[in-house]
Amino acid sequence: MSENNTNRAALPGRDRWGELYPFASHYLDLGESGYHYVDESPADTGEDGTPTLLFVHGNPTWSFHWRRLILANRGKYRCVAPDHLGCGLSDLQPRPLSLADHIDNLATLIESLDLRRITLVAQDWGGSIGLGGLLKLSDRFERVALFNTGAFPPWFIPWRIRVCRWPVVGRLALQGVNAFSRAALRMTVTRASRLDSRVEEAYLAPYFDWQHRGAVYQFVKDIPLSASHPTWKTLEQIEAGLPTLANMPTQLIWGMRDWCFTPECLDKFCSYWPQAEVHRLEDVGHWVVEDAPDQVETLLSDWLARTACQRCEETS
């Protein structure tokens, strides 16, 4: 394990918020960097193995984002939740990483752990990263559950994101005073008046100095503004693959008051996946799992049970 992992194991304030994230840490050696992930499984995996819920986070979050859903489902499913390099308990990025790099890292984790019967559960950048991994390793996946995300070149960039990309000013704001992460605590929820103070502290904990906020800035910088950006092509490739997933059981749970991944993004997914089960949460913002945690847990658990029964009938 690298020195960076050792430093991250003692994130600021963990004595206060650590009980909210009661998971053992695991690391995958990616050569230059250690890739942290949570891997929680039921005691009895059964003869055919346990279906996997693969939780893929966005920016500026980390695997902490999925804590409630992991706790709710680890008795029935294998729950795996990685931290992208530079995020959470993972090592710093060895160089500025692109969407394609994060997809490759996720695919390496899937193959290294030999994950199968996977349900992708993803949000924000995690949607593009997770779907990219799914399209590379489609035979390992069974279902898709998405919260506010995108998987196609952006046709608009919100001004709040554009400001963060301004030369010098944007980087100073994101890496200097952690403005992006701090703003997310307020701008991503609408139903909840504000998050619990321990939850806020946990979200900020991995990004405690300039160096450890580098990935937050890099994710913003990797948003392509034109076709000349390499990630634009990666997103085009992912979008081109979406129709091939049209028959896969899919659930879309959307916060309709999200200013970033707006209802138009949901409509675009629905155009590719008309069979998807869609839940539009009218008074919920971008961080759906924080804004409507109980509702999300119920919707996801019910859908997982129903689609598991459907799969059993189809394979019997």
| CA 277/CA 261 separation, integer angstroms | 18
Q: What are phi and psi of 56, to 5 degrees?
A: -125, 115
Can you say whether residue 229 is alpha, beta or left, with left for phi > 0 and alpha for psi between -120 and 50 degrees?
beta
Provide the annotated active-site residues. 124, 258, 286
Contacts of residue 292, defined as CB under 8 A and 6 or more positions apart, other chains included, come to 191, 255, 281, 284
Q: What are phi and psi of 149, to 5 degrees?
A: -160, -175
How is residue 86 written in tokens? 């530079």
Helix or strand run (H / E) with residue 279: strand 277-281
Cβ atoms of 249 and 310 closer than 8 Å? yes
Work out the burial of residue 187: count CB atoms within 10 Å of its CB; fewer than 13 is exposed, 13-18 middle, 19 or more buried. Answer: middle
- DSSP label at residue 26: E
Cβ atoms of 250 and 144 closer than 8 Å? yes
How is residue 114 written in tokens? 């030999």
Q: What are 122's strand-pairing partners?
A: 56, 146
| CA 65/CA 56 separation, integer angstroms | 9
| Cα–Cα nearest to 241, from 134, 155, 99 | 134
Q: What are phi and psi of 252, to 5 degrees?
A: -120, 115
| CA 251/CA 53 separation, integer angstroms | 13
